[in-house]
Chain A
């Protein structure tokens, strides 16, 4: 029986061990480095499962001094929520590998970066220390920048932008976000007993809350920072283009887990630490969310390129998430977590499968291909199901998340939330329109060219697809297996500092 710390370390840093192994092995064959990455990813998945199991019995974690001078700690913790996110990261990592088969130039460097990125994401997902979270987020930004710049491709798309433009845009938006995060975190540090540790900060700030006006300013800075990470309107522009330009494996990671970091930042750090500030901005957040939902959906409707369509659709879905976060009650927050899990799995799957279709057909415009279901039965049907999951059809996990967000947001009352909820419900129709429209054109209709070998051949890829779809459906049919754990955790997160949020109306 290994102890918990060892499991934690193995889970988080197995990809880094893979990085070292790749560096040491002199072989330049892409198969070797891919193999190493696959092994580390399975180790990570196993570790994440073990941690998920452990988290049912209580919280586990590591808490070691990191930079003693400024009180920064290497504090990570697997609770009901963060261990689910770890699972998500591991699964999305596998999907990313499955869809990276075409990478053959500079394969070693590619897999190095992907593994570093994954390790960074996982540390950020479980971080309980502001500085640790900040650093881990930035590692991901750097890796994504390089991956997009070196392996990205925008050929055959409608946009006139270049890959390097997309990469720079992504890096600058996220860089600006991280600077705001830095200012916010330092202000909290100086006010909260000179510590970056979440538990210490919460205790200190609960005992002596910051003045409300200062809280409002700091929360605004953090809101913009995490809103950018989340790709919520008006800081969303980097995301669709960035993921369209990225190599498929990176779009998978980006759409699947990177956006979760924004949710983690808001729900774990910003709202519990600055309850009064959050309360001041709740209305604005609801308005922003509404615009994000409608505008993202409208832009998705106008796209002619699958990756861009999914990118804007994702902006629209992040609007639901923002609405749920703004509601600041347990129901909505549980919904947000479920949406993030479902969105991560389904978008990762969709990106991977569309990437496959693009590799086979060589085009990615929606109207350039048709009859895909007949040409590649397995891939076609999987894509169909994944796209339906993105729509939030009942029977898939995202449906429950959306319902809970609607219920939570409606219960808040107030004009902004009522309008937001109504808009969000109607936006489901919008989502269905663009997704089903795309499906009709690409997947049905006449198959223009033959070739039965076009379907997914790799058993690994097939297993991953089946696994993700199964998870989406199981969670859609029995959401209770995770909701109870999440609900307890959300209530615990909100309990000590939640006093001043209560007046917004709490109906768990």
Chain B
């Protein structure tokens, strides 16, 4: 962990001397080294760094996940012309910083650590979203993200303050709900925990804090969109999972109803909002809200399997989204826009990109035999298991089914636009070999995880199994 932070700054210092693309691949190579190394680390129970961070299975898994996310983001960046044209090395540095923050966020064992890590991520993203200074859309996205991001940070900080006032500590080990609802401080605890929830719900773009996502996703540079939708969201979920699993907020009664409501809201808003969107990145924003809903479903079920499925979903989402955005970028590099019309005739322009778009969108929509389907399958299974005990959960299942169907429709609309129409005399899309290879690897993994998800699923469930007893 410390090694990575040092590496980030070392690289930051040496940045200007190298060609942007070479540098990107250099960083990717060293991150891959770190990834391999991170498999050697054994989980440690209890908090390290004077009670600030965890190094248990969950933290270790999310560390790998964030590393993969960072690697993919850099690979995406290395193919984005608009960023390569600017001061790309600064962009890489910020991505690395944000990635570092995400890992810390997933590992935090204390609210102070959580807040610092979250700010590290958010501040990096303020710059990453508005990185293309000459483009109005990027600046607009930056301002929106800045305004709402600051607001959510304020929520979080205030919530932490209330929790401290109620319990006298910021450590996850110490903060517990008061046994007696009439005891002094229980009001402050409740209010504080609500505010913390609000702050984190912003990060995962869950209903009712989802408004920013479509705008920011649309305006931000494509790699930023990708990193927001995967890394940032994964870190937010990691923090939420930890808070709930460690009983800082007991996920019973009202809380689980609240979470279920969050899930239903996100599902419906994301799916319905995605209908008739013409801009692919904006559509990705809505799909991201819907997927936050699916993920929250797993949390609402709150079984080991549900949370394991949640982590599995986050993992495979990285691949599917990377694929979609790489296709978007291929089109954007050539035509300068990423509306549905720009996609027309894709199969003739590049069969690989057409196949990638098809498979990754179907994976996002949750159609077997692709990885997204397996994740959704497990999520539904865990909620149905819960519903057998508490029939109210059937409502959640219903909302999930509707959202899944509408998402399928939305994705089919995109495919329809891509696969039909287009001029007959078309020219091939210009693609670099790294672009092709990244897409091909993602595709193979999507299909592989869809057909044979067992091993990874076991790993994700182990990541939770360490301390979730239910």
Contact = CB atoms under 8 A, between A and B. Distances in A.
To the question of whether A and B form a pair in one complex, the answer is yes
Main secondary structure of the interface of B (DSSP, over half): helix
A186 B381 contact: yes
B178 interface: no
Given A186-B381, A189-B381, A138 B368 contact: yes
A106 interface: yes
B416 A179 contact: no
Interface string B455-467: 0011001000000
Contacts of B413: 168
Given A138-B367, A175-B367, A183-B380, A149 B420 contact: yes
Nearest to A149: B419
A477 to B, nearest CB: 42
A265 to B, nearest CB: 15
Interface stretch (A29-37, A62-70, A319-327): A62-70
Interface stretch (B80-88, B221-229, B402-410): B402-410
B405 A69 contact: no
Given A146-B358, A182-B377, A168 B412 contact: yes
A448 interface: no
Contacts of A150: 347, 419
A463 interface: no
Interface string A166-200: 01100110011011101100110111000000000
Nearest to B412: A168
B369 interface: yes
Contact of B408 (A106, A171, A180, A190): A171
Nearest to A109: B351
A309 to B, nearest CB: 26
Contacts of A163: 420
A167 B413 CA distance: 11
A172 B378 contact: no
A135 B368 contact: yes
A135 B447 CA distance: 12
Nearest to B376: A182
Contacts of A70: 378, 381, 457
A170 to B, nearest CB: 10
Interface in B315-365: 347-348, 351, 358, 362
B415 interface: yes
B369 A172 contact: no
Contacts of A164: 416, 419-420
A131 B384 CA distance: 16
Contacts of B380: 182-183, 186
Contacts of B368: 134-135, 138-139, 178
A142 interface: yes
A278 interface: no
B258 interface: no
Contacts of B401: 179-180, 183
A432 B404 CA distance: 42
B256 interface: no
A424 interface: no
A69 B461 contact: yes
Contact of A176 (B405, B419, B454): B405
Contacts of B412: 145, 168, 171-172
Interface string B383-424: 011001000000001000100110011001101100110000
A141 B408 CA distance: 13
Nearest to A146: B358
A187 B394 CA distance: 12
A187 B380 CA distance: 10
Contacts of A176: 405
A175 B408 contact: yes
A189 to B, nearest CB: 7
A183 B399 CA distance: 13
A109 B413 CA distance: 21
Nearest to B421: A164
A135 B373 CA distance: 9
Main secondary structure of the interface of A (DSSP, over half): helix
B297 to A, nearest CB: 13
Nearest to B381: A186
Nearest to B451: A135
B275 to A, nearest CB: 13
A146 B373 CA distance: 18
Indicate the size class of the contact surface on chain B: 35 or more
Interface in A339-362: none
A9 to B, nearest CB: 15
Contacts of A180: 401
Contacts of B451: 135
A168 B413 CA distance: 8
B187 interface: no
Contacts of B381: 70, 186, 189-190
A167 B416 contact: yes
Contacts of A183: 380, 384, 397, 401
A407 to B, nearest CB: 39
Given A67-B457, A69-B454, A190-B388, A175 B420 contact: no
Given A69-B461, A164-B420, A183-B397, A142 B408 contact: no
Interface in A120-161: 131, 134-135, 138-139, 141-142, 145-146, 149-150
A168 B377 CA distance: 22
Contacts of B415: 145, 149
Given A139-B368, A141-B367, A150-B347, A172 B362 contact: no
Contacts of A189: 381
Nearest to B383: A186
A506 to B, nearest CB: 33
Given A183-B380, A186-B384, A67 B454 contact: yes
B185 interface: no
A145 B419 CA distance: 11
A171 B388 CA distance: 30
A106 B369 contact: no
Contacts of A186: 380-381, 384-385
A66 B369 CA distance: 13
Contacts of A145: 412, 415
Nearest to B378: A70
Contacts of B454: 66-69
B177 interface: no
Interface in A88-142: 106, 109, 131, 134-135, 138-139, 141-142
A106 B409 CA distance: 26
A234 B378 CA distance: 30
Given A109-B351, A146-B419, A175-B405, A187 B369 contact: no
B287 to A, nearest CB: 16
B369 A135 contact: yes
Contacts of B351: 106, 109
Contacts of A149: 415-416, 419-420
Contacts of A146: 358, 419
Given A175-B408, A176-B405, A179-B405, A139 B369 contact: yes
A66 B461 CA distance: 17
A442 B214 CA distance: 56
A224 to B, nearest CB: 12
Nearest to A169: B412
A187 B384 CA distance: 7
B367 A142 contact: yes
15 contacts: A67-B454, A69-B454, A109-B347, A131-B377, A134-B368, A138-B367, A138-B368, A141-B367, A146-B358, A175-B367, A176-B405, A179-B404, A180-B401, A183-B384, A189-B381
Given A150-B419, A172-B409, A178-B368, 14 more contacts: A68-B454, A106-B348, A106-B351, A139-B368, A142-B362, A145-B415, A149-B415, A150-B347, A171-B408, A172-B405, A172-B408, A178-B367, A183-B380, A187-B388
What are the 9 closest A-B residue pairs judged by CB atoms, nearest first?
Answer: A138-B368, A135-B368, A67-B454, A164-B416, A186-B384, A175-B408, A186-B381, A135-B369, A149-B419
Interface of A: 66-70, 106, 109, 131, 134-135, 138-139, 141-142, 145-146, 149-150, 163-164, 167-168, 171-172, 175-176, 178-180, 182-183, 186-187, 189-191
